[in-house]
Structure 1
């Protein structure tokens, strides 16, 4: 089932998400719905807070990318903890399903080591580099209550403030279902 994506300005995007247990209600369905929602919005990753759930869960699928090392990269991350970020920082133009129509160059570390459970509750500690690391760091930020716009300079954030306000009010055109926090407060 396609879920509405929570737009910038909703408090759930600013909460540090909580860990879950194996018996979290309908976990397989939640994961399936997150993948379906992400595919419908043409995303490569989505975190549970983006669908209104303040839990430590995110999914990533890079299998449609051209690079050979991404062909099999479809993963579920439960209760993830980044252990180490290292390597040179590099800029890349990032966007976010919760912040449509805004893309900015964001600097992130080249390599990340992360501990997490997969959908079968197998624990992993793995190190990823390049685009995989970037997407993991972006989605991980969501479960920490952070957004990519937080990494911008104060001047750049001020320059896009009116666009962010418009998104929160629903004054943006998207091809997927969204929930806008300030849309009902217009009057």
Structure 2
């Protein structure tokens, strides 16, 4: 059995990179190139110690994300969603979960952000078959976070203006300090 991890680790794009700030193009071809991209995305996500990764975070303008993330019961769920459509509970039926959130594209920074504690995405797998992922807890947050990426939004775009500005200043200061990568 081949135990080598498949896929090539690609560099993670950071806040300010134009590919992160525009909506991604829908996938129209379910082929070997898409399968290889997904393998690279998993390899890149694991190398960066993340729980989710959108294609634009490695510079690819396609609507696809991967995840390997626990739900509210601490059960890890792993998968890929191509061309996701996010569904949240109706306003009167949702409970807001307020926790710290971070992002591989804004390394070293975290901020408290409220999001619905349940989320569902509908989309496709790498062969074009329909998939539905229902998430609770951290998985619900991950589904929302990664879908945001594909729409050209970072979690920091959901923060109040003053908090966002301070977080970006802290990020720039940390990125320019000696020893920063």
TM-score class, shorter-chain normalisation, is: 0.7 to 0.9
Between structures 1 and 2, the one with greater strand share? 1
Name the residue aligned to 1:184.
none
State how many pairs are aligned. 171
Aligned 1:17-56 pairs, distance under 5 A: 17-23=24-30, 26-56=33-63
Instruction: With the length of structure 2 as denominator, give the TM-score of the two structures.
Output: 0.84
Question: Which of 153, 157, 160 matches 2:167?
Answer: 160
Name the residue aligned to 2:75.
70
Question: Which of 99, 120, 124 matches 1:117?
Answer: 124
| Cα distance change on mapping 1:115 and 1:66 into 2, 3 Å | closer
Does the 8 Å contact 1:93/1:106 carry over to 2? yes
**TM-fit CA distance, 1:111:** 1.4
1:73-107 superposed Cα distances (whole Å, 9 cap, x missing partner):
10101000113344111111111111001011111
Q: Does 1:80 align with 2:84?
A: yes
1:113-135 superposed Cα distances (whole Å, 9 cap, x missing partner):
22110123210234322221111
Does the 8 Å contact 1:110/1:129 carry over to 2? yes
Q: Does 1:142 align with 2:146?
A: no
Does the 8 Å contact 2:48/2:104 carry over to 1? yes
Give SS of 2:108's match.
strand
Q: Choose between structure 1 and 2 for higher RCO, CA contacts under 8 A separated by at least 6 residues.
A: 1
Give SS of 2:107's match.
strand
Does the 8 Å contact 1:84/1:113 carry over to 2? yes
Q: Distance in 2 between matches of 1:91 and 1:156?
A: 15
Instruction: With the length of structure 1 as denominator, give the TM-score of the two structures.
Output: 0.82
| Cα distance change on mapping 1:116 and 1:169 into 2, 3 Å | farther
- Larger CA deviation: 114-123 vs 28-37: 114-123
Does the 8 Å contact 2:107/2:171 carry over to 1? no
Aligned 1:96-107 pairs, distance under 5 A: 96-107=103-114
Give SS of 2:49's match.
coil
Unaligned segments of structure 2, at least 5 residues: 1-7
Name the residue aligned to 1:57.
64
Kindly report the root-mean-square deviation, in angstroms, between the aligned alpha carbons of the 2 structures. Answer: 2.3
